[in-house]
Amino acid sequence: MTPQELGLRQKSLSQAAPGIPVRLRKRLFVLMGLAREWDLRFENLLRTGSLGKWYSSVGNEAVTVAAAAALAPGDALVTLHRDVGALLARFVDPEALFPEVFEGGGAGPGDPVRRREAEEYLYRLACQMLGKAEGFTQGFDRSYHFGWIDEARRQIHVGMISHLGAMVPVAAGLALALSLRGQGGVALNFIGDGATSTGDFHEGLNMAAVWKLPLVLVIENNRYAFSTSREEQYACRHLADRAIGYGIPGRVVDGNDPVEVYLAVQEAAERARRGEGPTLLEAEVGRLRGHAEGDGSIEVVAEEELERYRGEDPVPAFERRLAAEGALSAEQARDLSGGLKSLLIGITDRARSAREPDPRAALPHRRVFAAASTELEAPERPCLAAAAPAGRRAEEGGATYLEAISRALREEMRRDPAVLLMGQDIAAFGGAFKATEDFVEEFGKNRVRNTPIAESGAIGIAVGAALLGYRPVVEMQFADFISCGFNQVVNMAAKLLYRWERSVPITIRCPCGGGTGAGPFHSQNPEAWFTHVAGLKVAAPAFPHDALGLLKAAIRDPNPVLFFEHKHLYRRSREPLPEGEVLVPLGRARIARRGAHLTAIAYGWMVHRALEAAELAAGEGIDVEVVDLRTLIPLDEETVFGSVRRTSKAVVLHEAPLTGGFGAEVAARLAGQVFEHLDGPVRRVAFPDVPVPFHKDLEAACLPSAETILAAFRELHYY
């Protein structure tokens, strides 16, 4: 397909853009002036010591205001730290604030209710900038790191995290949700030229193109990433040239011309609404400020170049243009300038006097987890009497661990149309382990989606869709590969609820563990990477019943859940499963075997090995109680501590490496909470601190075995 067939074109920056109505031009101008005055006011607060840091958007107003103004109600806006103009265009009515500029009628200019709403948004936004209690994040996150979703008012705004390119997959996820709704919604995302070098830029835009998602991605290219010039960032002439590689239109626009930007975004949005997929727009602007005020980065711009940018400054340039067209009188411009200053001085002075966050709000009142439904309060099944010898395939009869997972997915897909499945090869092929075999025939390609090899992109898209009410389940082909999507898990999904109180109901399935001779990149147990991150739930079932019930609970949970399912158990663990609903609440451990002399605490495959070792120990007169954690976060301290108080001794075992493994956390909590009940040290049995070797004999030498676990039981029993 040629560029001409794709409709690609690059517009000369000197070519005049078609016109738009005068009233709309005035709206753009007032909003650009408001954005400029906003920055100047906060720059002044920084200089006077009232603010610790400021990222200015001076010079970007024509891009951000015009692009957001081209959106329709119900569209989604994803912003970064230079995009205050977009927020103002989306949430502030300039005609209500400055009706004198819009003489000649209109939809109620000067309406006191609309004016009050505009002023209240500005006040709350100023409180956000200053970290006040009435800001959008109540002081729990900084400046433009916030979002505001009010679907009743058809307002969707998702703000940034500091890992800037990471917002592209999230914006694509919002676009996916809007596409599935079938109401013509579009997502608009801004990105700087520097962040286009990140992997998330590629993964998010590529997946949006493949799935023809209604996404408009606008690059604000000021030619510098902090201090790094464009020549040191990319080799192509224009960043929009990359669009052809994704099979989508790309276009360069004059970022100092709000009319041109507005029309370009409007055209891209209309294309997206027709189901034709994303568009990449590159808006070239001058760099009038450094990366952050006072960091010295503006000094990398040569004075001659800086003077040229000042001459192209979009705010005064657009004022001159409107004046030349007769659309704005000198008196209106003068009155507006004074009105903007007066408005924002009043707003920021009021915000500076607003109450500070109460330190007591940090803990325990600010939630890390959203409350789960009470429907998950399910009765517990009895403990096991014994276990099959480790490594032996399950006997015939009952369901396998893998069949239980497949059943959980199918039941939740049937129960809730908001459940979506995403992952590599999960559709027609049924997944690497066939957990989703035949799913696409029943649920269709909209709900069972093959993804490219793009873990970060898939997880980010899941986050965006979850923000608008969907419940995505993302399959990592192997748990090891989640490292490629680490940022989206720990910095995006995990922190959203705590930052701005929006839950993210995603489930990430992680086929994990060894015992199959798969080597160091297909055998890891990386659960401890995530137990350290507040806001993530982590489950690791050992038996089919729990795999079924926990996965169903995870999908229904309003929080991000990492679901570690052990590959070695897929077809080796089998048990009868009841008909009807099976739910196992997250955060509830289970006594898998009763005992009196010591407690073995384990999860996943190691529960089976602990049970086998316990049976061997019973032959030596050592009565071992086995606690199956099932969920690592939240940890069921009541069950764990209760067991150890009864037996007075504890062995903690897991398949992951010893150092930094989750067993260390369990041991530390036991030492801190039940020390007076202990009759011996807490012992740990784990994989040595080495990668998983490939040869099965080498791997077996490293894995905790029934014999090594039994040795630990003996040592502690006779301590």
State the pLDDT confidence band at 462, using cuts at 50, 70 and 90: very high
- Give the C-alpha separation, 118 to 96, whole Å: 8
The contacts found for 373-380 with CB under 8 angstroms, 24 or more apart, are 373/556, 375/556, 375/583, 376/553, 376/556, 376/583, 376/585, 376/586, 377/585, 378/549, 378/582, 378/583, 378/584, 378/585, 380/588, 380/590
Residue 16, pLDDT > 90, answer: no
- pLDDT for the residue 18: 59
- Average pLDDT over every residue of 157-169: 95
State which amino acid sits at residue 476.
Answer: M
Judged against a pLDDT cut of 60, whether residue 591 lies above it is answered with: yes
Rounded to the nearest 10 degrees, the angle between the axes of helix 84-91 and helix 22-47 is 130
Token match 């739930």: residue? 537
Of 225, 223, 226, 204, nearest in space to 215 by CA: 204
105 vs 675, higher pLDDT:
675
pLDDT recorded at residue 378? 55
Residues 132, 123: Cα–Cα separation, whole Å: 11
**Average pLDDT rounded to a whole number, residues 280-298:** 93
| DSSP-H helix ranges across 54-137 | 61-69, 84-91, 94-97, 112-129
d(CA 526, CA 395): 30
Q: Does residue 634 carry a pLDDT above 70?
A: yes
Write the CA distances from 446 to 200, 211, 271, 443, 450, integer angstroms: 22, 10, 20, 8, 10
Share of the chain above pLDDT 70, in %: 93
Under 8 Å between Cβ of 388 and 609: no
pLDDT for 73:
96
Instruction: Give the residue from 581, 190, 197, 561 showing the smallest Cα distance to 378.
Output: 581
Give the pLDDT confidence of 440-459 residue by residue, as tens digits.
999 999 999 999 999 999 99
The rounded mean pLDDT for the chain is 92
Put the strands of the sheet holding 76-78 in their side by side order: 148-150, 155-158, 76-78, 187-192, 215-221, 279-284, 250-254
- Structure tokens belonging to residue 396: 């015939």
Specify the pLDDT at position 19.
Answer: 79
Tally of residues, the chain: 719
C-beta of residue 272 within 8 angstroms of C-beta of residue 208:
no
Dihedral, CA of residue 51, residue 125, residue 364 and residue 588, to nearest 10: -130
Nearest alpha-carbon partner for 704 in 633, 652, 643, 635: 652
CA distance linking residue 159 with residue 431, whole number of Å: 34
Q: What is the rounded distance in angstroms from the CA atom of residue 160 to the CA atom of residue 427?
A: 32
**CA–CA separation, 464 vs 457, rounded Å?**
11
Catalytic residues: 522
Assess whether pLDDT exceeds 70 at residue 668: yes
pTM for this entry: 0.93
| Cα radius of gyration (the chain) | 29
Rounded distance, CA 248 to CA 214, Å? 12
In what helix (H) or strand (E) does residue 43 lie, and over which residues does it extend?
A: helix 22-47
Q: How confident is the model at residue 560 (pLDDT cuts 50, 70, 90)?
A: very high
Give the tokens for residue 277. Answer: 């997929």
Rounded CA-CA distance 77/151 in Å is: 13
pLDDT given at position 380: 63
- Longest CA–CA span in the chain (Å) reads 99
Nearest-angstrom CA–CA distance, 695 and 424: 27
What DSSP line would sit under 145-173, residue for residue? Answer: ---EEEGGGTEEEE---SSGGGHHHHHHH
Determine what percent of the chain is predicted with pLDDT higher than 90: 89
Distance in angstroms (rounded) separating the CA atoms of residues 77 and 186: 9
User: Using CA of residue 383, residue 388, residue 391, residue 397, what is the dihedral sign?
Assistant: negative
Q: Check whether the bond before 364 is cis (ω within 30° of 0).
A: yes
| Residue 110 pLDDT level (bands cut at 50, 70, 90) | low
CB neighbour list of residue 709: distance below 8 Å, 6 or more residues apart: 600, 609, 610, 613, 651, 653, 685
Closest CA to 496 of 129, 149, 133: 149
Which H helix or E strand runs over 401?
helix 401-415
Answer yes or no: is pLDDT of 9 > 70.
Answer: no
pLDDT, tens only, 336-363? 999 999 999 999 999 999 999 988 888 7
Is residue 678 within 8 A of residue 698, CB to CB? The reply is no
Task: Give residue 111's pLDDT.
Answer: 82
Question: Half-sphere exposure of 645 toward its Cβ, with a 13 Å CA cutoff?
Answer: 10
- Asked if pLDDT for residue 390 goes beyond 60, the answer is no
- For the ranges 38-47, 97-106, 507-516, 699-708, the lowest mean pLDDT is seen at 97-106
Q: What is the DSSP letter of 52?
A: S
Tell me, what's the pLDDT at 374? Answer: 60
What's the pLDDT band for 382 if we cut at 50, 70, 90? low
Strand partners, 516: none
Q: Within a 10 A sphere around the Cβ of 300, how many other Cβ atoms? A: 15
Looking at residue 305, its pLDDT comes to 92
DSSP labels, 233-283: T--SS-GGGGHHHHTS-EEEEETT-HHHHHHHHHHHHHHHHTT---EEEEE
Distances in whole angstroms, Cα of residue 256 to Cα of each of 68, 264, 556 = 15, 13, 47
Bridge partners (DSSP) of residue 539 are 563, 631
309's tokens: 């940018």
Residue 653 structure tokens: 């075992």
pLDDT(632) > 90 = yes
CA dihedral for 101, 106, 111, 114, sign (positive or negative)? negative
Q: What is the pLDDT of residue 3?
A: 41
Q: Is the pLDDT of residue 105 over 70?
A: no
Contact 683, 716 (CB under 8 A): yes
Instruction: Report the alpha-carbon distance of residue 509 to residue 155 in Å, rounded.
Output: 32
Confidence at residue 586, expressed as pLDDT on a 0 to 100 scale: 97
Residue 375 has pLDDT above 70, yes or no: no
For the chain, list the domains and their CATH numbers.
Answer: 18-352 (3.40.50.970), 397-575 (3.40.50.970), 591-717 (3.40.50.920)
β-bridge pairing 250-254 and 683-687: unpaired
Per residue in 208-240, pLDDT tens? 999 999 999 999 999 999 999 999 999 999 999
* pLDDT at position 383: 57
Better pLDDT: 391 or 370: 370
pLDDT at site 164: 87
Give the residue from 577, 530, 532, 525 showing the smallest Cα distance to 551: 577
Give the containing element (helix H, strand E) for 624.
strand 624-628
Whole-angstrom CA distances from 421 to 175, 436, 545, 588 are 16, 9, 21, 26
